[in-house]
Structure 1
Amino acid sequence: MKSITTILLALIAFTSVHAADYNIESFGAKADGKTVCTKAIQTAINESSQKGGKVIIPTGDFITGTLFLRDNTTLVIEKNARLLGSTQLNDYPKTTVNFRFFGDTWVYQSLIIAHNVNNITIEGRGTIDGQGGSFPVTTKVKPDRYRDRPYLLWIAECKNVLVRDVELRSSAMWMQSYIRCENLRIDGIKVFNHANKNNDLMDIDGCKDVVITNVIGDADDDGITLKSTTDRISENIVVSNCIISSHCNAIKFGTESTAGFRNVTISNCVIRRSAASDAKTGVPEGICGIAFEVVDGGIMENINISNIVVDGPRVPLFVRLGNRARKHYDEAPTPPIGSMSNINISNITAYASSPIGCSITGIPKGKIEGITLSNSRFVCSQGISQDMSNTIVKELEKLYPESTMFGTLPSYGLYIRHVNNINLDNIVFDLKESDTRPAIICDDVNGGSIRNISTIGAKNNSEIKILDNSKIQIQ
């Protein structure tokens, strides 16, 4: 009798687990790579949300338009399964949200959308491919050039979001946008996004309590990108153990900084050259490795960057506090000058492919407060032969922030301007070609110290140049 009871309980348990799976083929989806299966897949999603369980995308090629995730949705892309975005724009209905953000007049189409729902998961060993090359850019006029190009994932105002293990490919616009979400985890995914312009790898916008780990990604535009396009700050974020390639900026804060960034740790990552030689948006070698950009108001505080290898972009490190002052929607008040404080950058090993130089710059009425760069090595691959000692670096307060914005800087290692309390310690600058410039220039820099600076291959007698308007201790 005991044995029969045990068997019955086991059968009940098996039946319950089995019944929790919703294979989309059972709802009429066809794995022929031709039939648009949106209705069948959406029906499976709706039922799983109501009854519990997982939606299974099995082996094969399934075409779909926009899918709306519901509460408690788990979407499983099985090994050798491909969820392919329709190439017809009318399969992507325009969807709006109930809050204002920069881009809300053109961000409203995506292959997968989740808005104001909780407990959603996208996982599996298969692939989601947006077929983004089918949506060409038809104009250079902003913002029209961003319209009619669907994202791959657009997750807005959701709690408890998990995206893991899947491969994401070829969006028509940004690959994945997470905006005003809480408790977000992205783990073990692979991304290749080189189908179109504006092909970011991921954008974390006004989210909090975020963990991003074990990502291998290659993007035509920016890589792991933290933004603030709404009234919500991006905060409590951990990024670790990732390998990132980008034709633009591999790891980036900004450009939008409406509320800002707080409590962010990024560690144990490799930034390497892209596998794609054709750059639609940036340059093949990448524009910048690590970029901090606060130019639309907002704060940046309590940021820790450590153990990063930067191999090959034009500029390894760029820190910029500017005053573009762009509103996050037309009726919003003009943002004041933002702030940057308590930033720690350490253990950076970097190779620059251009002689531009790294920079840490504020503006006269907006100085960076409290930044440390330590235990790092910068290899400078090219040198400058002309005399740049009288070069004037323009302020360019309102210009779009980019590590190349000032042109070739008058220092080959680090140009620092409008900064209070900076500490540089144990930094090596390795010149591969002779250069007439000093390693470091400090202009309007007050407080802090510079010590243990080593230069290799330098012939200039004045490796650290402190202008008269600066007061900083050199040890």
Structure 2
Amino acid sequence: MMNKYYSFLICFSMFLIFSTNCLAQKGDKAILANPWKVKQQIEKVVVVPVFANKNYSIIDFGAKSGGVVNNSEAFKKAIESCSKNGGGKVVVPAGKFLTGPIHLDNNVNLHLEDGAEILFSTKSSDYPLVKTTFEGTECMNHSPLIYAYNKKKVAVTGKGVLNGQADNDNWWYWCGAKQYGWIEGRGNQNDPQNRIRLVESGEQNVPVEQRIYGEGSYLRPSFVEFFECTDVLIKDVKIINAPFWVIHPMKSTNVTVDGVTVESHGPNNDGCDPEYSKNVIIKNCTFNTGDDCIAIKAGKDGDGRRVAMKSENIIVQNCKMLDGHGGVVMGSEMTGGIKNVFVENCTMDSPNLDRAIRIKSNSRRGGIVENVFVRNIKVGQVKEAVLRINMFYNVYGNQTGNYIPQVKNVILENVKVKDGGKFGVLAKGYAELPIENVLLKNVTIDKVGEAYSIENVKNIQFVNTFINGQKVESPQ
């Protein structure tokens, strides 16, 4: 009797697995058949928060302009009062207002009027420990400059400026690079007790609450971080001089980044880094950065496998990318996986822009990137490649392991490039798990060194694609 029972369980389990796989395959087929229809469906799901028509000026809570007096308490009181009374706008009027970290609450829109500038303290001791992340590993570290944890309906809006005041004397030198002000005797993140210890704690599954960093650890905080938030908006503001990643939606859902300008050329100054996040729209923005303009992430190594969340349904549209390591990038922290990325109607152009579209991982990261759709892109100049897929990305020493990354279904169409740099397509995968299904359709690339350089790529097709004036045939 028991044998029959176990046989039934085994058969039923196999049926469930088979059914789930069939549904997944149908889902993949549906999005490949009409990806832009799926994009429209995602847009309908994303909720832009609406706030009560009530204003709470920081002046009424004791804030002083001039950039000298620390207004942390005024910001805190205004936000508390706004949230407690049903929400609305916390208004920052024209002027310069110095503060420590700003922690948002439910139903609060931090609104900077035209001419307003928030100057963030450069004293690391002003930033208390909070649950956050550094380069894809969760930890307790300095609070981001603007932070929301487990909140619903939060926003940062307006025509004002968020100034992190980071430079070679403040925050940036923590990276340990001489070009950013580090000199012998100064602390930096590369001390074995800092970044290396954090990565090891992720590998060893140390509880996040026990990963204590902060003062003396030299792990820079993100600028704007929404951690486990729902219905998020950041609109119109200009963000300059960030310590680290600039806009970081972390484990968040329904996020809109609209009309934001990022100008920050420090180390790891990615413009926008959705991580473990779902239903994210980045539109009408300008990125001029010291690292990737947009970098979609999903955790790193052992910690990414612990969290095991995808970043999915990410839309980038009508954006302008200037300086940066890449225009739209996936990785390298992508262990949890990245799925359904849509990029359309963007312009990318700078002698300091290395690649237009980039996917990067390695066998220590692992992870999968699937369903990347790019259309109607105008590229003026890039240095290295229009499309770069690197499964052997290597920083911080040996990055090899037992987790071979996977990339499949990458489609570029209606792309025009004036100066393509060294390669049209530069892609290298693993023989055990090749990069799969890459399509360039109606693509024109001029002034490029080589049409493509590929290794372990399965099913790459060129359809009506011209490189240096010559029509490119698909490899056999």
TM-score scaled to structure 1, two decimals?
0.73
**Matched residue type, 2:416:** T
Partner of 2:357: 290
CA distance in 2, matches of 1:189, 1:324: 30
Residues 127 and 96 of structure 1: is their aligned pair in 2 closer, same or farther, counting only changes over 3 Å? same
Contact 1:377 1:427 in 2 (8 A): yes
Q: Could you tell me how far 1:142 is from its partner in structure 2?
A: 4.9
Partner of 1:31: 65
Partner of 2:220: 149
Q: Could you tell me how far 1:242 is from its partner in structure 2?
A: 0.5
Partner of 2:389: 320
Partner of 1:81: 116
Which deviations, in whole Å up to 9, do the C-alpha atoms of 1:420-463 show, x marking residues without a partner? 222211111117xxxxxxxxxxxxxxxxxxxxx527xxxxxxxx
Partner of 1:419: 457
Which deviations, in whole Å up to 9, do the C-alpha atoms of 1:111-130 show, x marking residues without a partner? 11111111101111111111
Residues 218 and 300 of structure 1: is their aligned pair in 2 closer, same or farther, counting only changes over 3 Å? same
* 3-state secondary structure, aligned to 1:270: strand
**Matched residue type, 1:209:** N
Contact 2:423 2:452 in 1 (8 A): no
Q: What is the number of residues matched between the two proteins? A: 377
Q: 1:199 aligns with which of 266, 269, 274?
A: 269
Matched, 1:342 2:342: no
Contact 1:321 1:368 in 2 (8 A): no
Which deviations, in whole Å up to 9, do the C-alpha atoms of 1:166-192 show, x marking residues without a partner? 111111111111111001011111111
Which deviations, in whole Å up to 9, do the C-alpha atoms of 1:209-251 show, x marking residues without a partner? 1111101121111101111113211101111000011231121
Contact 1:46 1:70 in 2 (8 A): yes
Residues 17 and 118 of structure 1: is their aligned pair in 2 closer, same or farther, counting only changes over 3 Å? closer
Structure ranking higher in strand proportion: 1
Partner of 1:63: 98
CA distance in 2, matches of 1:426, 1:317: 17
Residues 289 and 106 of structure 1: is their aligned pair in 2 closer, same or farther, counting only changes over 3 Å? farther
Question: Segments of 4+ in structure 1 off by > 6 A?
Answer: 324-327
* 3-state secondary structure, aligned to 1:372: strand
CA distance in 2, matches of 1:352, 1:414: 15
> Within 5 A, what are the aligned runs for 1:242-261?
242-261=319-338
CA distance in 2, matches of 1:100, 1:34: 30
Residues 101 and 34 of structure 1: is their aligned pair in 2 closer, same or farther, counting only changes over 3 Å? closer
Partner of 1:223: 293
Matched, 1:135 2:138: no
Q: 1:210 aligns with which of 262, 280, 302?
A: 280
Residues 106 and 357 of structure 1: is their aligned pair in 2 closer, same or farther, counting only changes over 3 Å? farther
Contact 1:310 1:316 in 2 (8 A): no
**Matched residue type, 1:252:** V
Matched, 1:372 2:439: yes
Q: Could you tell me how far 1:364 is from its partner in structure 2?
A: 1.0
**Matched residue type, 2:309:** R
CA distance in 2, matches of 1:323, 1:17: 49
Residues 342 and 355 of structure 1: is their aligned pair in 2 closer, same or farther, counting only changes over 3 Å? closer
Q: Could you tell me how far 1:318 is from its partner in structure 2?
A: 3.3
Partner of 1:269: 346
Contact 2:340 2:371 in 1 (8 A): yes
Contact 2:82 2:108 in 1 (8 A): yes
CA distance in 1, matches of 2:124, 2:425: 42
Residues 272 and 101 of structure 1: is their aligned pair in 2 closer, same or farther, counting only changes over 3 Å? closer
Larger radius of gyration: 1
> Within 5 A, what are the aligned runs for 1:304-319?
304-319=373-388
TM-score scaled to structure 2, two decimals?
0.73
* 3-state secondary structure, aligned to 2:68: strand
CA distance in 2, matches of 1:127, 1:30: 17
**Matched residue type, 1:162:** L
Residues 243 and 232 of structure 1: is their aligned pair in 2 closer, same or farther, counting only changes over 3 Å? same
CA distance in 1, matches of 2:83, 2:329: 35
Which deviations, in whole Å up to 9, do the C-alpha atoms of 1:90-149 show, x marking residues without a partner? 21112125x998333585432111111111011111111111113241435654587353
Q: Cα RMSD between the aligned structures?
A: 2.8
CA distance in 1, matches of 2:256, 2:288: 19
Contact 1:322 1:363 in 2 (8 A): yes
CA distance in 2, matches of 1:187, 1:100: 25
> Within 5 A, what are the aligned runs for 1:168-207?
168-194=239-265, 196-207=266-277
CA distance in 1, matches of 2:406, 2:334: 10
CA distance in 1, matches of 2:100, 2:233: 22
Matched, 1:355 2:422: yes
Contact 2:385 2:426 in 1 (8 A): no
Among the aligned pairs, what percent are the same residue? 28
**Matched residue type, 1:214:** N
